[in-house]
Structure 1
């Protein structure tokens, strides 16, 4: 008997133009089979069907997070939290408790000080406005090296502050004469010129562990796999059924996804992009020619797991990239390999990628006007039509450049939380009021393929949905680009069905259409009927992937 799930007494937004609204839906063997009365007939004709009365809840297609960094979230749960700490003594109490249960000589590594998910303020959250001193940490854990890391810069805003005790400083070979290789790192000194145990990190993606702290424990394969299992459940709990990792995944990151997939436990439909480890053009040319055949074109995989294309950075710090490669397979919190690519090398790498049918993913930020000429040059030699190259993190952009992207046929992902809410201070004084920054309405008017993403800041898609509708900077509340706000319908389409094109899956995944994947989210409220400010408070009560409940009633 086919596996059947029937949901009824619901407000269903199918995003299938031929049947946009329904009150019941039947999913048979993982695919949408029927709506409304036909769905109910399916339920009564199959006594093995699982039938659930949703009591008026809202149903939408599953969220497809187009720049998810899903592997990170679960890792945060593997280290002791300091989120509750409001005094230095609160921090020290956690260290003492960890010292009690940790064998002598083994590191105590916590999460950063601050309130998740951003850790804004860091040590300023504590009454003393500082982290514990080296001597205070020594007293709390005299037989253990202790490390309180700075926040990962992409979560919040640099600078961040880390703290180490004397044993940790010693085991990492740090002395008052030590100097960082990478810029943006400051080793703290006390009044006598000795090490204070404080290290200040001003880089968005911290380099201090790669640069100065070789002895600090890294996340190993087993921990990353455990973290991914946790992450997957957390993302499902927000209604996410598919992810795309356009920033690229390092070899070890790909390995943990593959392990979960091989064990049959990967319930998140996953599209990965290769984050390459090469350090120069000759290495890149050999890798593209000899080792990346599986990532060419549409890539290889199945409906659950696919690898396609590569990420090529535009810019970056060469010293940070060098330090990061030297620490592989560890990638810290990022999950990808740091790159530093000059404009001339970027063009050369894009031409090489096009020659080998490797579609490029690139983070654009405010540099679209610099990257576009490269794409046009590549297109003249290797036409990009149908190749689905992906431009990500688009911030400030000219209309004529967006029009050119439409002509090239590239895909676009945006992260409104990053540029409008968290980093919106940089765009408060734009001459056009910010209408050229993350210009969602303009992109859609031009017919560009646009998919929304969370970037794991935070991983809740309904917070991102709210930012796309409200466009408010986090400190001032000022609206950036009032003409670029998205309606609930437009934002949800960009956050659900649009992302299928990133993995060449739009013929079977996205809308809740007959024959399409039975991937959906059940919400406690209908976004279409709410004010914009209420979008961020929406909760997902059930998530279904391929007709299987992965969050909510009867999930395991």
Structure 2
């Protein structure tokens, strides 16, 4: 008989294998990093030996480890610098926050901030005027907007970056100008933002290792055991991870999908293919990420008709057929892909491209799916395309009265199709859930709560956005367990003998707790490979 290394006892085990039996199992045994047994307390305890670590939480629920299906933990290190502007939605609030940040960063040459929602400009054009009022035009300053697809630079920062006049690129990126042709400081999409970001104060390697280790530990503390990392932007990202693993295990498994962009050459594509499988003990490159468009708020989402500001008619790929050719190449190589698609035209194009691939291949995903039409949702379900969505993008930034920038730009009809998670599930599609950290907080319990209420659950009385798109408690938890695994072609996310021992112990039962109660849920234990990453 195999002796358990560790036995976890609780009030119940949610195995996520289907409808729970009348008498739910109460215990899980772990040996050699895998689930040894799941069953009644007495049966599982019989597997204990003299050295078995028995952990008991009599009123808690044992669950599979959670998967954040869309996250940017390494890339976020260069974003979450300086003042957090999350939750700022008015000009007055922005000015007050900038004044506070000015005092906090008084000794720094650069002023840095992140996480600003465009709603703070109250419908007026986004620009650097508030930065100049509070900081003066001579101080270099940079704000990364909440969507991470745009930024605001002060006049001094623009001058240092060599940006002297407005410009537009074919892929929708550019530096915005006002009606008189003067730079506003609003920078759209990655190629333009990088002009400023490459001259920001350096962020030391050792500091980033420490910060990343702490971030992954914080993710483990809320029950995340795996994150699907949707970038490999930092040139030293793998070195950062190797440095952490040189001192111990990562607290969270990382599945990394580097970017393929319109400017990626054939030689670089070959290198992306060759990178597949490279990694360490708990991290590896196992896919490729692409973009078909940008964001609604930046005017770079690919829409069927212009938005309220006359924008949104361009794809990120100037020749969209080139995107389709890349997808076919990766499919032939057996490499799963994930494509960022926001606007209804972009989502349609990606869905039709993926639906045309030969059946039976690796899974391919569409990320975000912010506003999609009925027939496209049906196509996603019928074609086995995976949907990867982030409920709090809707509940944190969309207002039922349509006054937010996302809704204003799209208009009532398209805004009425916001984040159709319920319809995606009803189509039969796999629906993986995540945060898109640092675009939104990575707390999975808030995300699962908001997925059920379709409103910011932390703010009682707030009206719902698309109440008919709410998920059930089971569907929300599946989005972080079984469906997140299906999204990458894995049968994981369930507590069954032989499965990797990635599990958590929660002080409540997420399948019976009210969404409001999930906000106070506390993870008592997180195991990866049967070893504690949070306890």
- TM over 0.5, shorter chain: yes
Residue 305 of structure 2 aligns with which residue? none
Of 445-454 and 177-186, the range deviating more from structure 2: 177-186
Residue 485 of structure 1 aligns with which residue? 470
Structure 1 residue 539, shift from structure 2 partner: 2.9
Structure 1 residue 483, shift from structure 2 partner: 2.3
Is the contact between residue 382 and residue 429 of structure 2 (CA under 8 Å) also seen in structure 1?
A: no
Confirm or deny that 1:29 pairs with 2:32: yes
Is the contact between residue 433 and residue 481 of structure 1 (CA under 8 Å) also seen in structure 2?
A: no
Confirm or deny that 1:393 pairs with 2:368: yes
Structure 1 residue 6, shift from structure 2 partner: 1.7
Structure 1 residue 224, shift from structure 2 partner: 3.5
Distance in 1 separating the partners of 2:5 and 2:282: 20
Indicate how the Cα distance of structure 1 residues 346 and 419 shifts in structure 2: closer, same or farther if over 3 A, else same.
Answer: farther
Indicate how the Cα distance of structure 1 residues 82 and 272 shifts in structure 2: closer, same or farther if over 3 A, else same.
Answer: closer
Distance in 1 separating the partners of 2:444 and 2:187: 26
Give matches, 1:382-421, under 5 Å.
383-421=358-396
Residue 48 of structure 1 aligns with which residue? 51
Is the contact between residue 165 and residue 175 of structure 2 (CA under 8 Å) also seen in structure 1?
A: no
Is the contact between residue 417 and residue 454 of structure 1 (CA under 8 Å) also seen in structure 2?
A: yes
Confirm or deny that 1:10 pairs with 2:14: no
Structure 1 residue 532, shift from structure 2 partner: 2.5
Residue 353 of structure 2 aligns with which residue? 374
Residue 68 of structure 1 aligns with which residue? 71
Indicate how the Cα distance of structure 1 residues 49 and 92 shifts in structure 2: closer, same or farther if over 3 A, else same.
Answer: same
Aligned mate of 1:446, from 427, 431, 438: 427
Distance in 1 separating the partners of 2:102 and 2:534: 37
Residue 502 of structure 2 aligns with which residue? 519
Distance in 1 separating the partners of 2:419 and 2:17: 27
Confirm or deny that 1:351 pairs with 2:332: no
Distance in 2 separating the partners of 1:521 and 1:58: 8
Confirm or deny that 1:150 pairs with 2:143: yes
Indicate how the Cα distance of structure 1 residues 517 and 117 shifts in structure 2: closer, same or farther if over 3 A, else same.
Answer: farther
CA-atom RMSD in angstroms: 4.2
Residue 334 of structure 1 aligns with which residue? none
Structure 1 residue 17, shift from structure 2 partner: 3.3
Residue 304 of structure 2 aligns with which residue? none
Is the contact between residue 8 and residue 29 of structure 2 (CA under 8 Å) also seen in structure 1?
A: yes
Is the contact between residue 80 and residue 113 of structure 2 (CA under 8 Å) also seen in structure 1?
A: no
Residue 105 of structure 2 aligns with which residue? 95
Residue 275 of structure 1 aligns with which residue? 259
3-state SS of 1:151 partner: strand
Distance in 1 separating the partners of 2:232 and 2:464: 31
Is the contact between residue 81 and residue 110 of structure 1 (CA under 8 Å) also seen in structure 2?
A: no
Indicate how the Cα distance of structure 1 residues 373 and 75 shifts in structure 2: closer, same or farther if over 3 A, else same.
Answer: closer
3-state SS of 1:67 partner: strand
Distance in 1 separating the partners of 2:286 and 2:347: 23
Residue 142 of structure 1 aligns with which residue? none
Structure 1 residue 184, shift from structure 2 partner: 4.4
Distance in 2 separating the partners of 1:39 and 1:112: 55
TM-score (norm 2): 0.75
Cα deviation per residue 1:59-98 (whole Å; 9 max; x = unaligned)? 22111010021225556676577999947664443234xx
Distance in 2 separating the partners of 1:349 and 1:209: 25
Is the contact between residue 341 and residue 368 of structure 2 (CA under 8 Å) also seen in structure 1?
A: yes
Distance in 1 separating the partners of 2:28 and 2:161: 63
Distance in 1 separating the partners of 2:198 and 2:59: 55
3-state SS of 1:370 partner: helix
Structure 1 residue 487, shift from structure 2 partner: 1.2
Distance in 1 separating the partners of 2:347 and 2:193: 32
Cα deviation per residue 1:96-117 (whole Å; 9 max; x = unaligned)? 4xx3xxxxxxx6445427xx79
Structure 1 residue 360, shift from structure 2 partner: 2.5
Indicate how the Cα distance of structure 1 residues 16 and 301 shifts in structure 2: closer, same or farther if over 3 A, else same.
Answer: farther
Distance in 1 separating the partners of 2:512 and 2:364: 35
Distance in 1 separating the partners of 2:445 and 2:45: 34
Distance in 2 separating the partners of 1:119 and 1:163: 17
Confirm or deny that 1:179 pairs with 2:162: no
Structure 1 residue 417, shift from structure 2 partner: 1.6
Residue 257 of structure 1 aligns with which residue? 241
Residue 325 of structure 1 aligns with which residue? none
Give matches, 1:105-144, under 5 Å.
108-109=109-110, 111-112=112-113, 121=120, 130-131=130-131
Distance in 1 separating the partners of 2:97 and 2:339: 42
Structure 1 residue 488, shift from structure 2 partner: 1.0
Residue 311 of structure 1 aligns with which residue? 289
Distance in 1 separating the partners of 2:158 and 2:383: 53
